[in-house]
Structure 1
Amino acid sequence: MSDNFGFDTLQIHAGARPDPATGARQTPIYQTTAYVFRDADHAAALFNLQEVGYIYSRLTNPTVAVLQERIATLEGGVGAVCCSSGHAAQIMALFPLMAPGCNVVASTRLYGGTVTQFSQTIKRFGWSATFVDFDDLDAVRRAIDENTRAVFCESIANPGGYITDLDAISSISDEAGVPLIVDNTSATPYLCRPIEHGASLVVHSTTKYLTGNGTVTGGAVVDSGKFDWSALGKFPSLSEPEPAYHGLKFHETFGPLAFTFHSIAIGLRDLGMTMNPQAAHYTLMGIETLSLRMERHVENAVKVATWLENDPRVDFVTYAGLPSSPYHNRVETICPKGAGGLFTFAVKGGYEACVKLVDSVEIFSHVANLGDTRSLIIHSASTTHRQLSPEQQEAAGAAPNMVRVSIGIEDADDLIADLDQALSKTAT
């Protein structure tokens, strides 16, 4: 489908075609593990990457393929690979780039699980991460060294809703000759398209806003097709002969789609972080209403954040959609359709008051998730960011006196009333 169509059209139609066998209008769930080859030559061509098609659902599946094309189209990329979760997507994004001794320069303002994955788990691969305040551009430059293979940040950071200056960060990564990877989960391509701001790769936890209904987990990696993987010799997995495919060079053979093909042919083949077709189906249905939901998330978030900012029981609110936010000036350039539905607020009374608050809400659901149609609340310091040190919690925007909210699409007045009654119990 042409990229010239509007977002609302593409979120429904991109990647989808009537089923050739039945004429079914909705994308079918292709619940199969394997696919019949036409003949031996067809099978050999598929395994040699000489022909595109379906072999085995660990690698490719028709339902998942529609979702991949839809997400890539909405993000303005050339291709995408879907996988089992957002954390899987992060490893999939780094896998072709890294080697033992290599590092990634990452923002301090990240989801707590990402901080743990980057600071602890990737060490087992011989990789490392350097965490930097991405508002300090000189510090980002200094952190990049000869072993850096990627720069990583979130467009709208979880939990605080901080907006990253993607244009400035991409300029730094371009100077260093390394790709910028942007987690666009909290913004979605409706609010922000990181590739237009210089990102080489975009990752998503499709579990969140893209699906939007809290039913399935999933992840995606979107390839901009714009990075030159052969220029500096830093990415041999993509530029040098691949032994498993008789010396095929991915970048030379597949050009702008090199990363996408490598992630399927090697990443999914060997890591096995596969998205199942039913999860892809739920996410496709969710994306059909993405723009409508994001508009309501933003509208409600502005109302709730404004009320909280004026409440004497609240110290401050981090929402970038508020004029008082130091990140408010980035909304127009990075997220012109709004600052999202995710933010934190500081409760007077600290840790204990936060615990009372989350235990007292009635409409808000106390869960470890975000991006649902339902409004969600969590005390990050005791849950999602619990594994981090106090210093890391503070840097990530998850201090002990902070509560994170993911504002849903309910009636905003009802959400305010729920927070009001819950806050009234924090002083008792």
Structure 2
Amino acid sequence: MTEKIYKNIDTACLRAGYEPGNGEANLPPITQSTTFTYESTDQVAELFNLNDPGFFYTRLGNPTVDALEQRVAALDGGVGAVATGSGQAANLLAIVNIAKAGEHIVALNNIYGGTFNLANKIIKDFGIDSTFVSVNNFDELEEAIKDNTKLIIGESLANPKADVLDIEKYAEIAHKHNIPLILDNTLATPALLRPIEHGCDIVTYSSSKYLDGHAAAMGGIIVDSGNFDWSRGDYEQLTKPDESYHGLVFTDHFGNSAYAARLRTVGLRDLGTIQSPVNAFLTLLGLDTLALRMERHSKNALEVAEFLENSDYVESVSYPFLKSSQSYDLANKYLKGGSGVLSFCIKGDRDSATRFIESLELIRLAVHVADARSLALHPASSTHRQLSDENLNEVGIFPNLIRLSIGIENSEDIIADIKQALEKACGDR
């Protein structure tokens, strides 16, 4: 993590992770190179033996990507971070870094559809079993944890229904069973919520979303809190000799950053899920304005949610800072703002939802979320299409549910567009 500690996150968004020297570039430069040159074989050997820090091949580390990693680690209050090629890659590595065939994980059933499929099918093909539990149902969580459970994974603020997780309670239960809590903080970002401060052990991001903020760069990030004691559980990947590094023990060699070190030196080395220097540079540019953008996203989204809640064409609205929301108390406990994502059920059926989306003029139909521009999507036929009808009903992804990602345009223009689209979709009812 960067040596300088910035008291306010607004400043850290601009300054953490990179400090130019005299006559150096004010922005972290794009180091568009796969390889780095050294003068002696001993130097390279020490790099490969993990005894010296440095860059020797971009698959394991790159100066531009390193600046991004350091900045996000600083924003979240972690001991280190590892950037990946996508948010899905981040969640995959976060799991397989400590779970292997014959072991088990617990996942929240309201996670993003791609992550649901990852936990429900892909890692099962790797031999890792999974159990899904309802959000904030702690009795169900306790019953799901087994002797071979290696982690609990969920989202701090869920996509698309914006349920808020009771992080402290989940952390308490996880730590009672000597397992870590891993949370995807993509929608909240560290500008609105720092999960590590509430007991979370590992934080993941799709940096393609709000961290970039402009739909320009694919990427993911994993942040290691450095707080979990891996010796308390059965985590032999970190606590026993690694033959591929001549018997090195990660917890002995790297101390409280052992998890992040193994992510890089084994996960990135062997699976190759790296982030490109150009994408890291674009994400760093996005981070400059993260705190400002999240404030505006949150303000606009609350205004839209309140408008929808009072519309005769709307059945229900999900947004954490609505006083009617089941998440309202938790939102006030954990969040500085509700972020820009909300969902609502239009009065009618799937066809009504389709007519609404196709009637929008300012808001764009796009398979994305957390953009500076407002976007709309029908989750049941897109982001959550991998789920069965039973799974969709369990997590409340109904045929008439619409997800809105509210941007930073003027809120009057956004609401006017929603109003006219609702009238076209439902005006004859």
Task: Give the match for residue 364 of structure 1.
Answer: 363
Alignment of 1:23-422 (within 5 A): 23-232=24-233, 234-335=234-335, 337-422=336-421
Gap runs ≥5 in structure 2: none
Distance in 2, matches of 1:94 and 1:384, equals 21
User: 1:112, 1:396 within 8 Å by CA — same for their partners in 2?
Assistant: no
Q: Which amino acid letter does the alignment assign opposite residue 337 of structure 2?
A: G
Following superposition, the deviation at residue 38 of structure 1 comes to: 2.9
Structure 1 residue 235 displacement after superposition: 0.8
Residue 4 of structure 1, CA deviation = 4.1
C-alpha deviation, 1:134, in angstroms: 2.3
Matches of 1:387 and 1:51, distance apart in 2: 44
Q: Given that residues 19 and 28 in structure 1 are in contact (C-alpha distance below 8 angstroms), is that contact kept between their aligned partners in structure 2? A: no
Matching residue's letter, 1:403: I
**Paired AA for residue 30 in structure 2:** I
Assess if the C-alpha contact under 8 Å between 1:350 and 1:400 holds in 2: yes
Structure 1: distance between partners of 2:413 and 2:215: 21
**Aligned residue in 1 for 2:12:** 10
Letter in 1 for 2:4: S
Contact 2:92–2:118 (CA<8 Å) still a contact in 1? Answer: no
Q: CA deviation at 1:396?
A: 2.8
Name the aligned partner's letter for residue 276 of structure 2: N
CA distance in 2, matches of 1:378, 1:11: 29
Measured in 1, the distance between the counterparts of 2:332 and 2:249 equals: 41
User: Alpha carbon RMSD of aligned pairs, Å?
Assistant: 1.0
For residue 160 of structure 1, report the CA deviation from its aligned partner: 0.4
For residue 425 of structure 2, what is the aligned residue in structure 1?
A: 426
Percent identity of equivalent pairs? 42
Deviation at 1:106, TM superposition (A): 0.6
1:394 CA drift (Å) = 2.3
d(CA) in 1 for partners of 2:383, 2:63? 34
1:2 CA drift (Å): 2.6
Structure 1 residue identity aligned to 2:164: I
- Structure 1 unaligned runs (5+)? none
> Residues 18, 2 of structure 1: CA spacing in aligned structure 2 closer, same or farther, 3 A cutoff?
closer
Matched AA of 2:15: H
Looking at structure 1, the residues matched to 32 and 21 of structure 2 have their Cα atoms a distance apart, in angstroms, of 14
TM-score normalised over the length of structure 1: 0.98
CA distance in 2, matches of 1:32, 1:17: 21
C-alpha distance in structure 2 between counterparts of 1:327 and 1:92, whole Å: 30
Deviations 1:93-129 (A, max 9, x none): 0122111111110111111111111111111211121
1:298 counterpart letter in structure 2: S
Contact 1:111 1:396 (8 Å CA) reproduced: no
- 1:335-367 deviation line (CA, Å, top 9, x unaligned): 1x1111111101001211001111111111111
Give the paired residue count.
Answer: 425
Alpha-carbon deviation of 1:3?
2.3
8 Å CA contact 1:84, 1:219 repeated in 2: yes
Residue 382 (structure 1) shift: 1.1
Q: Alpha-carbon deviation of 1:55?
A: 0.9
| Distance (whole Å) between structure 2 residues aligned to residue 86 and residue 210 of structure 1 | 11
DSSP 3-state at the match of 2:205: strand
Letter in 2 for 1:13: R
Runs of 4+ in structure 1 displaced over 2 angstroms?
A: 1-5, 394-397
Q: Contact (CA 8 Å) 1:173, 1:180: kept in 2 or not?
A: yes
Determine if contact 2:204/2:223 at 8 Å carries over to the other structure.
yes
- Contact kept, 8 Å, 1:96 with 1:235, in 2: the verdict is no
Structure 1 Cα separation of the partners of residues 378 and 97 of structure 2:
35
Distance 2:58 2:395 in 1: 37
**In 1, Cα distance between equivalents of 2:120 and 2:320:** 27
